[in-house]
Structure formats: C-alpha cells, structure tokens
C-alpha cells in the first residue's frame, strides 16, 4: 500500500517542493510569516487563503474525472451561486443577520446542486458525452447568473459574508478552514464508505462493474451533483472575497485550473483511481505557481501562458509515447554504460 | 441523378421520402436549423414589425462575419470528432499582434499573412499534441487556448487602436445594393464558407475528414491518410481563427487581449445547432452558416427587445441542449439497428 | 498432405512466429493459399487465426518466418501496403463508414477526379459497376448505415475489388447474417473464386465451412494442426483437431457424472424459450440444486449468448426465467444478482476484473455492490472474507493488497470466483473459467466446481475443452449455430459422443 502511495504522489510532491524551494531561494520573504493582531500574514498564508475556491472545485472535479467524466460547468456554476446569494442579501433588510446569511448561502448552493444533478442526468441517464453535456451549462450558466443580477455587478456590504473569505479564525484565514472541512468531508465520504472504491470501479471498467452489479448510474449522477454543490460553495467564497457578484469574472477559467490540479495530483483523465491528497497537492502547486508568476513581475494576465506550458509538460509526461521513448533512451544509455564497463 | 429518376414512372411520395432519408439523412438537422432560423425571423417580424428589413438581415452577416469564419474552421475539426477550444483566444492573440505590428508601422501586406500563420502554428501545435502524443483534443486545445491568451497579453495588456486604412476599409466600405449592404469582411466570410464547402465536398482530403469522423479505425484500415488529414484539420481551424482575428480587428477598429472570451463556446454552439454531430462524421459548412445566423438572429432579437444580452447565451445554451439530446436519440436509434 | 505443385500459391507463409509480451501467439505456422480456392481457417479462441490474418494484412509485424506473395518475399508494415499488394480484408464488424454513401464507401481513396475535384457522377457510376459485378443493385447514393450488415459486407467486398485484390480475407463474415443472406454472400464468394481470387474464410459455423471451402487449415494454441482438403476431413476429425485432445492431467479429479442429482423437484433456475433475434434461437435451460450443467459447443454456437441472456447482461426479446418456480424479471445483471444468480464472463479482462483495484477490493466488490455504498465492507469483516476465500481458492501470491491486473490469468479467475462465492449465490454461471490459464490453476478451479456442486450449489459450466465439460457436468447441453440442439446425460456420454453431437450434419434449416 505504501508503495503505491509513494509511486502515485512522489512526483506531485516533488513538483510542489521544488516550486517552494525556487521561491524561497529567489525571495526569502516567501516563507516568512508575520504575526499581526494574532493573525498570520505572508505569501504562504495568502496561498492557503486564495486557493480555497479552487480547492472546492478541484475536489468535485476529482470525483467526476474518476468516473471517466469531466465537468466544464463549474466556473459558470460559481457565478450562479454568487449571484443568487448576493441578490438575496442585497434584497434583504438585514444583510448582517445570520439568518439572511444562512438563507443566502443555502439558496446559492441548492441551485448549483440542482444544476449539478442536471449535468449528471444528461451524462448518466441520457448517455451524452460529459464534455458536451456540461458545455450546455458552461454556456448558459453565466447568462443565468447575469439574469439574476439583472446584468449588473451586484455589490453588497455584509460583515459576516465578508468574513468567510477575508476573516481570520484562531490566527488562520477562515477560508482555509473551509478548504480543510471540504477536504476532510470528501475524503471521509469517499473512503469511509464504499463510495470511493465503487466510483473507481466504475471509472476503471464500466462493463465489468455493471456485470458485478454496481449501480453505476447512481454513482455517476452523484458525482456531478457533488461537483455542482462544491462549485456552489466555491462561488460563495469567491463573491465573498470581492463582495460582489460578477457573473463574467467569477470562476473564469477555474474549470481548467481544476482539471489541471487533478491531473497534477496524479489522477488520470482516463478515470479510475483517484487521489484526494494528490488533488490537494495539485491545487497548492497551481496556487504557488500563480503566486510565483506574480512575484516574477509577470502581469497576472500573462499567467495563462505559463499554465499552457504546465499543461503541455504534464500531458507529455503522461503520454505513452514519451514514456516509451524515455525508457528506450534510458535502456540504450545504461546498456552503453554496461558496454563501457565491460570494456 | 436526374437521368435516373426521369426514366422511371412517377413514384409515390412514400418512395421519394424513403429514398430521400436513405440518401440525405445527414441534411435533416440542417433543415431543422433552417426551420428554426426562418421561424425566428418570421416571429421577429410578427412581433417587431420592422425585423425583416434589408438592413437587419445585412447586419446579420456583417456583425457575425468573424464568427462565421471561426465556425467554418470548427466544422472541419468537429467533423473529425475533435474539438478546438482555442479559437477565441487565437482570435484575440492574432488581433492584438496585428494591431501592435500595424501601430509600429509594419505594412499591412506583411501583417495579415503573419496573423494567418500565427493562427496556423497554434493549430499545428494542438494537432501534434493530439496526433503524436495521444492527448485528448479537449485538453490539447486547452493548452493552445492558454498559450494564445497568454501570448495576447504578452503583446499588450491594453487595447491598441488600429488606424491602417486598408484594415478599416474591410469593414467600413459598404457596397449598397437596393438597401442591402455588404462589406469586404462579409465577402471574406462568404468566400471562406464557399471554400470550406467545396473542399469538404469535392476533394479527397475533405472526404477523408468525414471518413475519420465516421470511424477513425476503419479509415486507417481503408488505407486513408489519417494522420496528415487530422493535422491539417487543426491547422485549418487555427488559420480560420487567424483570419477571424483580421476580420475582428477591422470590425472593432482595435485589438484587445480580452477579446473573444467565450467565443469558442458560441462557435461550437453555432456548429452544433447547424446540424454537425459532435461525435463527428456528419455535418456541413452550410449548416454551420445557418447556425451562426440563428445565433445572430437571437442576439438581434434580444437587443430589439431591449432585454439583457445574457438571454443570448441562455437561449443558445437551451438550443444547444435540444440539439445535443436530439442527436443522442438519433445516434442511439441508428446504433440499435 | 498432398500439395498440388502444379499451382503456384499466391500466398506462402512459412514458419510465422509472433510474440506478444508473455505469449507466443504464433509458433512457426505454415500457411499457403492458391488462386481460385476458398481456404477455411479454423480454431477456437486464442488459436491464432486472427493473429495469422493480421500478420498477412500488415497489422502486426512478424518476429520470425517469411511471407511470399506471388513468389516475391514481402513484409507489410501497414494495411495500405498489403492492399497495394492485392490483399484485402473484410472484417466481421464491417470496417466501413456508416456516415457516408454506399458509392463513396466503395470508391473512397480511389475516386475518379476531373480538374482536381471529385467527379461524383463518376464515383457512383463506377461503384454501381463494381457492385453489379457481384450481382448487387442498390442505390449507391444511399447511406451505408441504411442497409443491412449483409449488404454492407458485399459493399466491403466490392471495395476490395476496386483495387483488383487477388487475395480476399473474410473474417467471420457470416456471424450476423441470416440463412438467405449467407446464400447471397456465398454466391458472390463462389463467383470471385471462379474468377481466380484466393479467399481465406474464417468462420465458426461448420455447415458453412463445409459448404464453401476447398481446403481447411486448423490452428490450435498458436500452432498449426494441419491443412487438408475439405472433402478428406470428416467433421468429427475437424472438431477434434480444433478442440484438441489434452492429455488428462486431472485424473485425480474424479468424474462427477456418476454423482446422482435429484431432478424431481423444482429447478433453481429455469429458462423457457429464452432468445434474441439474430443472436440466439429460443432455448430452454433448467438447472437443479447441486447440479453442474455443462454447455458444449464451438465459439459462436450460442453458448455464451444463452447465459448472458439468462443473467440479464444482454436483453432477451423472448422467453421467461423462473427462479424456484416463480417467474421473475431478469432485464439487468442487478435483477439476476437479487435472485442470487452469479455470472463470470468469458472475457476476464474486459468484463471481469477491475484491473487497477486490489485483489481484496475485487473480491468484496460483489458483496459491496449488493449492499450499496453506505455500508462499506471494511476492516475485520473484509479481512475475514478476503482471507477465507483466498485460502479456499488458493489465490497466489497470497497478498490481498496486490493490484489484480498483476496476477496471472488463473489467479484472476480465482479472484472472480471468490467475488461471486462471497455473495452466496444459488446458481453460478462460469463461462470459460479455465481458458488460457495454467494447469495448476485449472485443476484448482475444476476441483472447486465439483466441491461446490456437492455442497448443493447449482453450476452452469461452459468450456471449449470437452474433457472438462464431460468430467465436471452431470448433464450437457449441446449448442450449434446459435441453437440448442440437444441435451446429453453425462453419465453415459464420452467426449466422442459430444463431438459427434456438435458435428452432426445440420438438419434442413427451418425458415
């Protein structure tokens, strides 16, 4: 077991550690953490805080990918949940009351849960390819969000709402706790119940799973619903960070970052075995990379170029042709060495 | 065809319908799209009263010329059962690159070819990743999209105004024929459609595109040049995105790195609504043109209504859904046979 | 073997050897094909038929031996090369393009062109000519997918004729055709043969092989068994050659046929008129407690099809299934599992194991699927179940945390058996559980089947090895050409009786 664990996570961890090392060497301030008013500040803390929405989305994406699927609608769903929640707060007389807050969040995530279930319905019942099925909401979702906010960027002032992404609890950002709770919950549900192994079974071999009596339809359906739910919470966090529902900017490209995080974490896009820990590492890697790019003075807008390079490197490393080529090269190099030694 | 039918005794309607469906089943979704387009136009006329005017209809082409060009390229890729998510970003990249070069005094006869080649190169990159490294088209074109978007911002972070008369002429010159008007960008778009349709219908390359979409394994076993054809499909799509960049620059009179966000989705939606199967092998450039017009009509109607433009995306999303579900039903029916 | 030296073979394959990782797929096989003959290539699963064809058509490269075409040594690296040398293949699953017209499928890649553009009138005219040469008149502008598989096959043959093929490989062309369609196809094949085309015919249907073939080559386990003129090879001999007569290593497993089974009560599972159009003609099957029912028949005889319909893996369009006397609905595997019917597929890798999961996870998957995801089989419960069944079946290595894909075929089969036994079934269906596994594992599985039946479990056992069926079963269902043709009491049947039953001349096919 430990062997597999090592094998699967060794590369992702190495990538993250290398990235942190490069950062630390080039700017020692990267790892420095300052304490102000009993709250921690610093680049690392920023990474923990800012990665929360991506973390939630990537966790959902991991499960969807494990079933051989993909969910492109998560970014649009983030926009929807933010729009729903902020519109409710905006319309209420008491934006600071916990009841308003509770209703707003619950309404936001319920809507995205329903949308997620809709995606699951298209994929598992109607048998539509996941890319296409989720493309529909990717396209329409932002329109719906714009409609909810009436085409404007709804801004609100609500101290408790703001607290979710910008507040601190016991010295650490509240958003980080949200990440941790999501990670723990997803990991518990997947690993303490049989859901994880059944999901992997469906992703690895759908036909054998069907013949073994696994209810694959329900499992696939559920995966998209969970992805929608988590995207909803991510949307709440995002809108809390800017205290505005921006239907165009919310979750822009996050589906791509999430897919990348999942792949970086060692979960194959072909489905099957998945690793929650890997995804967590992948998310931190991407967030650190973004922080690095900013530090390097590159305008954040150019960062997609770096992301493109990461995507290309990752897919090339995973490509069978490159692996075969590398092992052949290695074989010739080592055989040549042997020959030299023999001589 | 006419010779064969004229020698026969007049046939019953049933025979004709049956022969039509056995020959031209793949045109049915195109007619469905045409029906939707006509219904939209007539409904618009009935509701607004001033919808079916030469002016509105002409602007349908002029305002969507770039989308039409993108849709033609996308049709090639989707026919091979692939997808290209990079087109919006490539459009933005080539547009801002062209604007920057023009502002630095590079002559337009150099700039336009460079823009086209830029698009073609990104298409080639995507094709190579897919063909030689077994990367899924969706992921490979994602990398292309990221790369193009990043490059666009690398060229400039802000909008660059274009003052080159030749480029601006493409959009501002209006040929007026009895109240109908047509700009050079519209002519370019129509030429691209015609070229795309001819290539797909009358060349071995075009037919190989359909063959790959029908069944890539079979196409290979039949000895067709699968690798070359697939690469070329992505290169064509990239080149079209570059050309769309030219047209879009003329349309906007400027290059802006944030242009074309979400355009890839509009393009895919237009192609699918135009009757091209996302599973490949069935569809037509002419259908994609109708799809683009459906998109343009919805957009125009919504602005006539004075409603939120967000309704455009919602309506397109809903139409896409209907088409995808119907396609799925058709495919599962035919495979059950 | 009397080789007619007067006719130079069009294809001469000598000493063909092909290795796959861990498997010798072809071991020094010789094969020759003369112009104007129909040459049947026969063998069970894994015999090497399709490997040999793929070596000839450029899909696989060969590790040893030589291929001569028309007297010239050749080696093809792509199918296009082979086609250029005049060798074309029509595959079972018709490798054409359903989305294009008939005419285009015939002419694709060879379209007549005028001024650089495809001359569609010419395409359809030429296609129509090629098709009419085979006696086919259809609208060449119609979509391929609007025609039956039989017609599509003729279209594929026409395509081969466009390139003037001298060798035509027909890989199981008749497996989804009805009687009259087979007649039409054979008419075309005879016509081509008379025009000098050499035809390799692969099929599992004995009647058809004898109807059309001039010579027959039999392969078994990657080796050549022999080539004979069809007229000189009795059916029984052909079946024996295909199935092989393995030296009995399993004397220690006593013959189970003599055990008495009480068949007076209600059968555990009883299927009546179970069938599906084009797949299986309606058949009956009863299985009683403690009984092993063997199903004997060649590949494609309907043996697998029958049990898949019984299990709900495929959808039956006729018949009913009763469990302990009461009729039940078995439309999906889950229904079958609810009635405690278990099924282990013949395709271990694609339909059995979940390769990337561990042995333990694979074993508890069956129980887990029944229980649902909320109640996980975990901790000590899982450990108990896994260790109990791994020990009972002797899974090696005895490491439950190993990925099941890294086990040998025999041990994978044991894991699958464990998965089903852990769900405490009342009927277990084993489709080719011993195919491609080593002798030790085979003996283990046979012994286990006998034990289980003695303990009262009902078993349906399918195998290409008739010895195995005869030894383990009390009753043998014989199938041929997608029909159940009878039942034998294993008590007084020998392998030869079963061979005779399989090979018996088909009575006149009822329309």
Alpha helix ranges (H) inside A149-296: 159-166, 174-192, 195-204, 206-211, 216-242, 254-264, 276-295
Chains that touch B (3 or more CB pairs under 8 A): A, C
pLDDT average, residue stretch A101-113: 93
Same domain, A285 and A311: no
Same domain, A307 and A225: no
Give me the pLDDT at residue A302, please. 79
ipTM above 0.90, yes or no: no
Q: Tell me the pLDDT band of A281, cut-offs 50, 70 and 90.
A: very high
Same domain, A221 and A322: no
Give me the pLDDT at residue A2, please. 44
Q: Which of C333, C370, C401 shows the shortest C-beta gap to A1?
A: C401
Give me the pLDDT at residue C79, please. 80
Q: Are B224 and B208 in contact (CB under 8 A)?
A: yes
Give me the pLDDT at residue B65, please. 93
Q: Give me the residues of chain C with pLDDT under 70, please.
A: 1-6, 22, 45-46, 93-94, 176, 245-258, 505-511
pLDDT at A297 over 90: no
Q: How far is B252 from chain A (nearest CA, A)?
A: 21
Q: Answer yes or no: is A236 within a domain.
A: yes
Q: Tell me whether residues C95 and B222 touch, CB distance under 8 A.
A: yes
User: Which two three-digit tokens encode residue C356?
Assistant: 């990337």
- pLDDT tens digits, B126-151: 999 999 888 888 888 988 998 998 89
Q: Answer yes or no: is A1 within a domain.
A: no
Taking the Cβ of residue B80 and every Cβ of chain C, the question of whether any pair is shorter than 8 Å is answered with no
- pLDDT tens digits, A16-26: 888 888 888 88
Residues 6+ apart with CB under 8 A from C185: C150, C153, C154, C173, C174, C177
Q: How far is A41 from chain C (nearest CA, A)?
A: 41
Backbone phi and psi for residue C219, each to the nearest 5 degrees, phi listed first: -115, 150
User: Which two three-digit tokens encode residue A335?
Assistant: 């055989």
The enclosing H or E element of A144 equals: helix A130-148
Same domain, A328 and A231: no
Q: How far is B163 from chain A (nearest CA, A)?
A: 26
From the list C235, C392, B138, the residue with the least C-alpha distance to A134 is B138
Q: Which of A132, A252, A312 shows the shortest C-beta gap to B278?
A: A132
Q: Is C228 helix (H, G, I), strand (E, B) or coil?
A: strand
> Which carries the bigger pLDDT value, residue B121 or residue C396?
B121
Q: Answer yes or no: is A28 within a domain.
A: yes
Tell how strand C223-229 and strand C269-276 pair up: unpaired
Q: Tell me whether residues A213 and C334 touch, CB distance under 8 A.
A: yes
How far, in Å, CA of C241 to CA of C218, rounded? 7
Domains of chain C and CATH, by start? 11-243 (3.40.50.300), 256-503 (3.40.50.300)
Domain boundaries, chain B: 27-328
The enclosing H or E element of C33 equals: strand C23-33
- pLDDT tens digits, B14-40: 777 777 766 777 788 888 889 889 998
Q: Tell me the pLDDT band of B168, cut-offs 50, 70 and 90.
A: confident
Q: Tell me whether residues C145 and B23 touch, CB distance under 8 A.
A: no
Q: How far is C118 from chain A (nearest CA, A)?
A: 34
Q: For residue C45, with 0-12 CB atoms within 10 Å meaning exposed, 13-18 middle and 19 or more buried, which class applies?
A: middle
Q: Which range among A300-309, B81-90, C165-174, C219-228 shows the weakest confidence by mean pLDDT?
A: A300-309
Q: Which domain holds residue A16?
A: 10-297
> Which B residues, 178 through 207, put their C-beta within 8 Å of a C-beta on chain C?
198, 201-204, 207
User: Which two three-digit tokens encode residue C266?
Assistant: 């209600």
Taking the Cβ of residue B336 and every Cβ of chain C, the question of whether any pair is shorter than 8 Å is answered with no
Structure-token match 């729009």, residue found: A83
How far, in Å, CA of C61 to CA of A296, rounded? 52
Same domain, A199 and A341: no
Which residues make beta-bridge pairs with C326? C323
Q: Answer yes or no: is A150 within a domain.
A: yes
From the list B247, B212, B214, B320, the residue with the least C-alpha distance to B64 is B247
How far, in Å, CA of B316 to CA of B320, rounded? 6
Residues 6+ apart with CB under 8 A from C314: C276, C279, C305, C308
- Produce one character per residue of B78-113: b if its CB has 16 or more CB atoms within 10 Å, e if not: bbbbbbbbbbbbbbbbbbbbbbbbbeeeeebeebbe
Same domain, A242 and A321: no
Taking the Cβ of residue A205 and every Cβ of chain C, the question of whether any pair is shorter than 8 Å is answered with yes
Same domain, A126 and A98: yes
Of the ranges A290-294, A300-304, C44-48, C253-257, the best mean pLDDT one: A290-294
How far, in Å, CA of B220 to CA of C156, rounded? 15
> Which carries the bigger pLDDT value, residue B123 or residue A292?
B123
The enclosing H or E element of C454 equals: helix C439-454
Which residues make beta-bridge pairs with C460? C293, C429
The enclosing H or E element of C16 equals: strand C11-20
Alpha helix ranges (H) inside C202-284: 206-212, 235-243
Tell how strand C198-202 and strand C38-42 pair up: parallel
From the list C119, C211, C192, C118, the residue with the least C-alpha distance to C153 is C192
Above pLDDT 90, what percent of chain B? 41
Q: Tell me the pLDDT band of B217, cut-offs 50, 70 and 90.
A: confident
Q: Tell me whether residues C95 and B202 touch, CB distance under 8 A.
A: no
B27-328: CATH architecture: Orthogonal Bundle (1.10)
> Which A residues, 259 through 278, put their C-beta within 8 Å of a C-beta on chain C?
272-273
Which residues make beta-bridge pairs with C13? C31, C67
pLDDT at B7 over 70: no
pLDDT at B223 over 90: no
Q: Tell me whether residues C143 and B215 touch, CB distance under 8 A.
A: no
Q: Answer yes or no: is A3 within a domain.
A: no
Q: How far is B259 from chain A (nearest CA, A)?
A: 13
Q: What is the mean pLDDT of chain B?
A: 86
Taking the Cβ of residue A207 and every Cβ of chain C, the question of whether any pair is shorter than 8 Å is answered with yes
Beta-carbon contacts below 8 Å between A and B: 127
Q: Is B107 helix (H, G, I), strand (E, B) or coil?
A: coil
pTM for this entry:
0.82
Give me the pLDDT at residue B1, please. 38
Name chain B contacts of C139, Cβ cutoff 8 Å.
19, 22-23
Q: Which range among A126-140, B72-86, C29-43 shows the weakest confidence by mean pLDDT?
A: A126-140
Name chain C contacts of A219, Cβ cutoff 8 Å.
373
Domain count, chain A: 2
Give me the pLDDT at residue A96, please. 80
pLDDT at A79 over 90: yes
Give me the pLDDT at residue C116, please. 81
Query: Residue A94 is part of a domain; what is its CATH number?
Result: 1.10.3470
Chains that touch C (3 or more CB pairs under 8 A): A, B
How far, in Å, CA of B123 to CA of B129, rounded? 10
Q: Tell me the pLDDT band of B245, cut-offs 50, 70 and 90.
A: very high
- pLDDT tens digits, A190-234: 888 889 999 999 999 999 999 999 998 999 999 999 999 999 999
How far, in Å, CA of B143 to CA of B138, rounded? 9
Q: Tell me the pLDDT band of B311, cut-offs 50, 70 and 90.
A: confident
Q: Tell me the pLDDT band of A183, cut-offs 50, 70 and 90.
A: very high
The enclosing H or E element of C14 equals: strand C11-20
- What end-to-end distance do the CA atoms of chain B give, in Å? 28
User: Which two three-digit tokens encode residue B273?
Assistant: 């609504």
Q: Tell me the pLDDT band of B180, cut-offs 50, 70 and 90.
A: confident
Give the residue from A279, A297, A315 where a domain finishes: A297
Residues of C with CB under 8 A from a CB of B: 78-80, 83-84, 89, 91, 95-101, 104, 108-109, 111, 113, 116-118, 139, 141-143, 145-146, 159
Alpha helix ranges (H) inside C204-260: 206-212, 235-243
Q: What is the mean pLDDT of chain A?
A: 85
Q: Tell me the pLDDT band of B193, cut-offs 50, 70 and 90.
A: very high
- pLDDT tens digits, C174-203: 776 777 788 888 988 999 899 899 999 988
Above pLDDT 90, what percent of chain A? 35
Q: Tell me whether residues C95 and B213 touch, CB distance under 8 A.
A: no
Same domain, A227 and A323: no
């Amino acid at each position: 077991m430990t062997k597999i664990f090592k094998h699967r996570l060794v590369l992702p961890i190495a990538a993250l550690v290398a990235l942190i090392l490069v950062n630390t060497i080039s700017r020692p301030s990267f790892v420095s953490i300052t304490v102000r008013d009993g709250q921690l500040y610093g680049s690392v803390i920023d990474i923990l805080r800012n990665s929360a929405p991506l973390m939630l989305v990537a966790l959902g994406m991991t499960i969807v990918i494990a079933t051989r699927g993909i969910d492109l609608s998560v970014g649009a769903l983030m926009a929807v949940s933010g729009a729903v929640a902020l519109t409710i707060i905006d319309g209420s007389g008491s934006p600071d009351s916990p009841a308003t807050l509770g209703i707003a969040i619950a309404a936001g995530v319920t809507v995205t849960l329903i949308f997620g279930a809709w995606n699951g319905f298209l994929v598992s019942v109607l048998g539509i390819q996941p890319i296409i099925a989720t493309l529909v909401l990717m396209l329409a979702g932002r329109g719906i969000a714009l409609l909810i906010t009436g085409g404007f960027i709804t801004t609100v002032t609500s101290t408790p709402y703001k607290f979710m992404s910008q507040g601190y609890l016991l010295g650490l950002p509240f958003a980080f706790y949200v990440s941790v709770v999501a990670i723990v919950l997803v990991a518990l549900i997947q690993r303490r119940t049989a859901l994880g192994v059944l999901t992997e079974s469906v992703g690895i071999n759908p036909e054998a799973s069907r013949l073994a009596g696994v209810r694959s339809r329900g499992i696939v359906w559920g995966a998209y619903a969970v992805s929608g739910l988590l995207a909803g919470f991510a949307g709440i966090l995002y809108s809390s960070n800017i205290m505005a529902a921006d239907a165009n900017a919310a979750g822009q490209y996050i589906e791509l970052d999430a897919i990348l995080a999942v792949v970086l974490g060692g979960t194959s896009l072909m489905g099957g075995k998945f690793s929650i820990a890997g995804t967590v590492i992948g998310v931190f890697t991407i967030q650190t990379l973004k922080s690095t790019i900013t530090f390097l003075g590159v305008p954040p807008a150019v960062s997609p170029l770096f992301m493109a390079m990461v995507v290309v490197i990752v897919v090339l490393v995973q490509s069978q042709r490159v692996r075969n080529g590398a092992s052949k090269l290695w074989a010739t190099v080592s055989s040549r060495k042997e020959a030299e030694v023999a001589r | 065809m006419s010779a064969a039918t004229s020698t026969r005794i007049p046939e019953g309607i049933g025979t004709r319908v049956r022969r039509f469906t056995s020959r031209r089943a793949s045109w049915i979704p195109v007619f469905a799209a045409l029906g939707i387009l006509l219904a939209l136009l007539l409904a618009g006329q009935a509701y607004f009263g001033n919808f079916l005017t030469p002016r509105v209809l002409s602007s349908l082409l002029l305002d969507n010329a770039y989308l039409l060009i993108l849709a033609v390229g996308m049709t090639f890729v989707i026919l091979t059962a692939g997808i290209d998510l990079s087109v919006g970003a490539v459009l933005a990249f080539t547009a801002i690159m062209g604007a920057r070069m023009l502002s630095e005094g590079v002559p337009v006869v150099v700039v336009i070819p460079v823009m086209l080649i830029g698009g073609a190169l990104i298409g080639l990159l995507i094709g190579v990743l897919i063909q030689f490294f077994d990367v899924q088209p969706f992921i490979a074109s994602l990398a292309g999209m990221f790369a193009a978007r990043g490059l666009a911002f690398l060229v400039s972070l802000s909008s660059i105004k274009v003052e080159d008369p030749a480029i601006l002429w493409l959009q501002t010159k209006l040929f007026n024929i009895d109240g109908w008007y047509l700009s050079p960008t519209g002519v370019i778009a129509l030429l691209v459609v015609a070229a795309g349709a001819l290539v797909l219908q009358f060349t071995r390359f075009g037919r190989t595109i359909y063959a790959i979409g029908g069944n890539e394994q079979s196409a290979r076993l039949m000895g067709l040049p699968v690798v070359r054809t697939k690469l070329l499909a992505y290169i064509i799509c990239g080149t079209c995105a570059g050309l769309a960049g030219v047209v879009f620059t003329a349309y906007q009179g400027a290059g802006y790195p944030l242009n074309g966000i979400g355009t890839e989705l509009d393009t895919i939606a237009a192609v699918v609504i135009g009757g091209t199967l996302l599973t490949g092998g069935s569809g037509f450039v002419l259908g994609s043109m109708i799809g683009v017009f459906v998109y343009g009509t919805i957009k125009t109607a919504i602005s006539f209504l004075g409603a939120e433009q967000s309704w455009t995306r919602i309506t397109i999303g809903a139409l896409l859904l209907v088409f995808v579900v119907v396609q799925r039903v058709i495919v599962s029916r035919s495979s059950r046979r | 073997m009397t080789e007619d030296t007067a006719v130079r073979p069009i294809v001469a394959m000598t000493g063909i050897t092909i290795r796959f990782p861990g498997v010798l797929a072809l071991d020094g096989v010789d094969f020759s094909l003369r112009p104007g003959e129909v040459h049947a290539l026969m063998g069970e699963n894994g015999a090497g038929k399709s490997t040999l064809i793929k070596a000839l058509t450029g899909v696989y490269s060969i590790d040893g031996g030589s291929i001569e075409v028309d007297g010239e040594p050749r080696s093809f690296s792509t199918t296009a090369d082979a086609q250029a040398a005049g060798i074309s293949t029509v595959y079972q699953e018709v490798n054409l393009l359903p989305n294009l017209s008939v005419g285009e499928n015939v002419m694709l890649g060879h379209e007549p062109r005028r001024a650089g553009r495809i001359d569609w009138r010419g395409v359809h005219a030429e296609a129509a000519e090629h098709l009419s040469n085979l006696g086919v008149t259809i609208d060449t502008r119609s979509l391929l997918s609007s025609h039956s598989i039989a017609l599509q096959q003729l279209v594929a043959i026409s395509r081969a004729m466009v390139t003037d093929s001298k060798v035509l490989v027909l890989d199981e062309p008749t497996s989804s055709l009805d009687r009259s369609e087979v007649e039409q196809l054979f008419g075309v094949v005879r016509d081509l043969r008379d025009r000098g085309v050499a035809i390799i015919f692969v099929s599992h249907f004995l009647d058809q092989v004898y109807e059309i073939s001039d010579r027959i080559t039999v392969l078994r386990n990657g080796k050549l068994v022999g080539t004979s003129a069809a007229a000189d090879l009795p059916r029984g001999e052909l079946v024996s050659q295909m199935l092989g007569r393995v030296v009995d290593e399993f004397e220690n497993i006593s013959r189970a046929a003599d055990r008495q089974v009480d068949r007076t009560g209600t059968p555990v599972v009883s299927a009546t008129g179970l069938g599906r159009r084009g797949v299986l003609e309606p058949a009956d099957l009863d299985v009683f407690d403690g009984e092993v029912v063997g199903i004997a028949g060649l590949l494609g005889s309907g043996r697998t099809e029958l049990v898949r319909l019984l299990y709900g893996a495929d959808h039956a369009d006729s018949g009913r299934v009763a469990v302990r006397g009461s009729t039940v609905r078995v439309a999906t595997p889950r229904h079958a599992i609810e009635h405690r019917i278990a099924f282990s597929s013949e395709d271990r890798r694609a339909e059995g194991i979940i390769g990337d999961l561990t042995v333990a996870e694979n074993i508890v998957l069956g129980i887990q699927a029944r229980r649902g995801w909320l109640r996980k089989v975990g901790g000590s419960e899982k450990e108990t179940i896994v260790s109990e069944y791994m020990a009972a079946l002797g899974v090696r290595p005895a490491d439950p945390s190993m990925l099941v894909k890294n086990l040998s075929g025999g041990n994978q089969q044991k894991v699958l058996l464990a998965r089903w036994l852990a769900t405490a079934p009342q009927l277990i269906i084993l489709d080719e559980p011993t195919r491609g596994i080593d002798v030790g594992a085979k003996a283990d599985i046979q012994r286990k089947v006998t034990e289980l039946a003695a303990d009262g479990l009902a078993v349906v056992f399918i195998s290409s090895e008739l010895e195995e069926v005869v030894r383990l079963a009390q009753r043998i269902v014989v199938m041929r050409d997608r029909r159940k043709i009878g039942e034998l009491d294993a008590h007084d049947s020998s392998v030869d009786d079963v061979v005779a039953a399989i090979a018996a001349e088909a009575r006149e096919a009822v329309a």
